[in-house]
C-alpha cells in the first residue's frame, strides 16, 4: 500500500438534495489551476483556462491511482456482490490522508483544497463508486459542516477523528417526504428547561450513517418559525449510540452496494445544548452553502466513471476477438470508444474549472450546477456505451462495466437532481423560472 501522503503533497448524502438561495459562504484560497480570462457579462462566466494541474495534484493522482488499483479494484466485485462495506479499506484511506485533504493541518488535515479532493475522488470512482462516495460524503457532508460552522470546541472534539479517517459522519437532511423539496423538513427539535435539544422525526437515504466507524450524524430539524412564517431549520449533532437515535436496516439498492446507506429514526432523542451546529435557524441556509462543493465532488465521481469505462473498453476492444480480429478494428466499436474519450475530456474540463473557481474564492454556483448536470448525464451514457461494447459479457455482474452501469444512475439524483441543476442554471441566466 502507498505510504501516507504528507501535507506538502496534498497542499453530498446519497439523496441529499434541494435548492434555495443561500448567502455567499466566504472566500476560499489556493487555486491549483491558472490562466483566468475575462468573465462572461452574465452571471454565468466562461473564463479562458489553462488546465495544468500543479505538481502536488499530479503526485496525489499517482498515489491514489496506485491505491485504487492495488487495494480497491481487486475486491470491488466481491464487495458489490456481498453488499459489504469495506471497513479496513476505508481506514486505509484515512491512513493515506484522503479524508483530510481539504482541511487545515491543525486538525490533522493536508491543507489542500477542492481540486485536490476531486482528484482523489475521480481516481477512486474509476474503479469503484461505492468507495468514492464514502470519501465524498465523509468529507463534504460529514466533516465539512463541522469545520465550516462548528465552534472551536466542536471542531476540537469531532474533527481530528473525522479528518484522520478514524471515524465517519453522516448528514441527515433528506426525509421520506422531503427530498428535492428539502425545506419541507418535518423532523422537529425543541429545547427543554436545561437547554437540551429533544429531536423527533425520520431521515432517509443517509450515507455513512450506520457503519462501525460512524461517530455522529448531523441532522436538520425545525426549531421554530421565521418572521415570514417559514420553518426555521437548525442543524444538531447527534453522536452514535445516543438514546432515542435508531439506525434502520441498510437499504437494498440498485447500485452502490458497498456504500453504507440507512434510514434514521429519532424518538425523544436528547442531546446537550452545545450540540447545536451553527446559529439556530441557519441550518438549511448553511447546508445549501456547502452543497455547491458537493456537486463539484459528485461531478468528479462522474469523471472517474467515464474514465473507468474508457479504460475497460480500450482493454476489451484489443483483447476480444470476433470474426478473426480484435473488435477494436471495427469502426463501430472504435468510434464508440472515441466518444468515451471525448466525454471524459469534456467532463474533466468542466469539473476542474468549477473546482478552480471555488478554490480561488470566486462565485461558482452556476458552474457547479453545469458540472454536476453535464458529467453525471454523460456518465450514465458512458456506462450504457461501455456495456454495449462488452456485449453479453457487459451484462454479467462480474464485469466492472456492469457494476458501473448500475451504480451510475444515482449520480443524476444525489446532491440535487438533474432537474434541480437545470433550475439553478436557468435562474443564473436571469430566467423567471420557478
What is the torsion angle, in degrees rounded to the nearest 10, for the CA atoms of residue 246, residue 166, residue 86 and residue 96? 160
Residue listed under C-alpha cell 487545515: 104
Q: Rounded distance, CA 355 to CA 376, Å?
A: 16
> Are residues 235 and 285 in contact, defined by beta-carbon separation less than 8 angstroms?
no
The rounded distance, in Å, linking the Cα atoms of 21 and 54 is: 33
Helix (H, G, I), strand (E, B) or coil at 236: strand
Q: Is 415 a catalytic residue?
A: yes
Q: Do residues 180 and 420 make contact, with C-beta atoms less than 8 angstroms apart?
A: yes
CA dist 383 to 67, 339, 368, 387, Å?
Answer: 23, 12, 22, 6
Burial class (CB in 10 A: 0-12, 13-18, 19+), 30: middle
Distance of CA 331 to the CA centre of its chain: 36
Annotated catalytic residue within 19, 367, 377, 415? 415
Cell digits for 371?
A: 458540472
Q: Which of 207, 86, 129 is nearest to 405 (CA)?
A: 129
Q: Are 338 and 412 in contact (CB under 8 A)?
A: no
Contact assessment for residue 301 and residue 348, using Cβ atoms and an 8 Å cutoff: no
Q: Beta partners for 233?
A: 222, 282
Give Cβ neighbours of residue 288 (< 8 Å, ≥ 6 apart): 18, 19, 20, 21, 22
Distance CA 301, CA 318 (A): 26
Residue 199: beta bridge partners?
189, 269
Q: Which residues contact 286 (CB under 8 A, 6 or more apart)?
A: 22, 145, 148, 149, 235, 277, 278
Catalytic residues: 415
Amino acid at each position: 500500500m502507498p505510504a501516507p501522503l504528507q501535507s506538502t503533497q496534498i497542499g453530498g448524502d446519497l439523496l441529499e438534495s434541494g435548492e434555495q438561495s443561500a448567502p455567499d459562504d466566504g472566500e476560499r484560497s489556493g487555486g491549483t489551476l491558472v490562466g483566468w480570462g475575462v468573465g462572461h457579462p452574465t452571471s454565468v462566466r466562461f473564463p479562458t483556462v489553462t488546465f495544468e494541474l500543479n505538481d502536488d495534484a499530479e503526485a496525489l493522482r499517482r498515489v491514489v491511482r496506485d491505491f485504487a488499483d492495488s487495494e480497491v479494484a481487486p475486491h470491488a466485485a466481491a464487495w458489490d456482490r456481498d453488499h459489504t462495506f469495506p471497513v479496513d479499506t476505508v481506514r486505509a484511506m484515512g491512513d493515506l490522508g484522503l479524508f483530510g485533504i481539504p482541511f487545515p493541518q491543525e486538525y490533522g488535515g493536508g491543507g489542500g483544497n477542492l481540486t485536490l479532493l476531486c482528484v482523489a475522488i475521480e481516481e477512486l470512482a474509476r474503479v469503484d463508486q461505492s468507495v468514492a462516495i464514502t470519501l465524498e460524503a465523509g468529507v463534504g457532508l460529514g466533516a465539512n459542516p463541522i469545520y465550516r460552522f462548528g465552534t472551536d470546541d466542536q471542531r476540537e472534539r469531532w474533527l481530528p477523528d473525522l479528518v484522520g479517517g478514524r471515524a465517519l459522519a453522516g448528514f441527515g437532511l433528506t426525509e421520506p417526504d422531503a427530498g428535492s423539496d428539502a425545506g419541507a423538513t418535518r423532523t422537529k427539535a425543541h429545547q427543554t428547561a436545561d437547554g437540551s435539544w429533544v429531536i423527533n422525526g425520520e431521515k432517509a437515504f443517509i450515507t455513512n450513517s450506520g457503519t462501525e466507524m460512524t461517530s455522529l450524524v448531523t441532522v436538520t430539524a425545525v426549531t421554530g418559525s421565521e418572521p415570514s412564517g417559514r420553518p426555521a431549520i437548525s442543524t444538531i449533532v447527534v453522536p452514535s449510540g445516543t438514546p432515542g437515535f435508531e439506525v434502520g436496516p441498510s437499504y437494498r439498492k440498485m447500485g452502490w452496494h458497498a456504500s453504507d446507506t440507512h434510514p434514521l429514526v429519532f424518538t425523544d432523542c436528547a442531546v446537550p445544548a452545545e450540540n447545536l451546529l451553527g446559529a439556530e435557524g441557519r441550518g438549511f441556509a448553511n447546508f445549501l452553502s456547502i452543497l455547491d462543493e458537493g456537486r463539484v465532488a459528485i461531478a468528479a465521481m462522474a469523471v472517474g466513471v467515464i474514465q473507468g469505462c474508457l479504460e475497460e473498453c480500450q482493454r476489451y476492444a484489443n483483447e476480444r476477438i470476433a470474426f478473426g480480429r480484435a473488435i477494436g478494428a471495427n469502426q463501430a466499436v472504435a468510434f464508440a470508444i472515441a466518444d468515451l474519450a471525448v466525454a471524459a475530456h469534456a467532463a474533466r474540463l468542466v469539473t476542474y474549472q468549477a473546482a478552480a473557481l471555488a478554490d480561488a474564492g470566486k462565485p461558482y454556483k452556476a458552474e457547479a450546477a453545469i458540472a454536476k448536470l453535464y458529467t453525471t448525464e454523460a456518465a450514465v451514457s458512458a456506462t450504457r456505451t461501455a456495456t454495449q461494447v462488452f456485449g453479453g459479457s457487459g451484462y454479467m455482474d462480474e464485469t466492472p462495466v456492469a457494476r458501473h452501469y448500475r451504480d451510475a444512475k444515482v449520480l443524476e439524483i444525489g446532491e440535487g437532481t438533474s432537474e434541480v441543476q437545470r433550475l439553478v442554471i436557468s435562474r443564473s441566466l436571469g430566467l423567471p423560472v420557478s
